[in-house]
Amino acid sequence: MSLVEEIFGQQGFQRRGSKEEPVFRMNMHDTSTSQTYALEIPFKEEGNESQRFARFGEPYVAVSSSSAMRNGGTDDMIPRSISWAAESKVAEVADYLATSYRSNHI
């Protein structure tokens, strides 16, 4: 689990949420609208004391609470540029995780 947290941290994510519903969160800023969006990847820790691992849920993007408050509410439309950036970041993190897993199990 520490390797997972290290990789997410290196990629700009922070661990947030409760113990029961943790997420890795990364803020993404859209310069054209001055809105900030949060890319969140929910996960659950599983396994035993000697071997812990993370099972990831479906990633999603939402308007961050600070942007919503500043702009008087939320707009359900996520700009295409933010969606594309989020998909790219998820793919990048998945690649780092897969590479690290392979190098530790060869």
pLDDT tens digits, residue range 54-99? 889 999 999 986 555 555 555 568 999 999 999 999 999 999 998 9
pLDDT score recorded for residue 11: 95
101 or 18, greater pLDDT: 18
Q: What is the CATH number of the domain that holds 72?
A: 3.30.310
Q: How far is residue 35's CA from residue 67's CA, in Å, rounded to a whole number?
A: 6
Instruction: Name the domain count of the chain.
Output: 1
Range of the domain at 45: 2-104
Contact 63, 35 (CB under 8 A): yes
User: Beta 14-17 vs 22-30: how paired, if at all?
Assistant: antiparallel
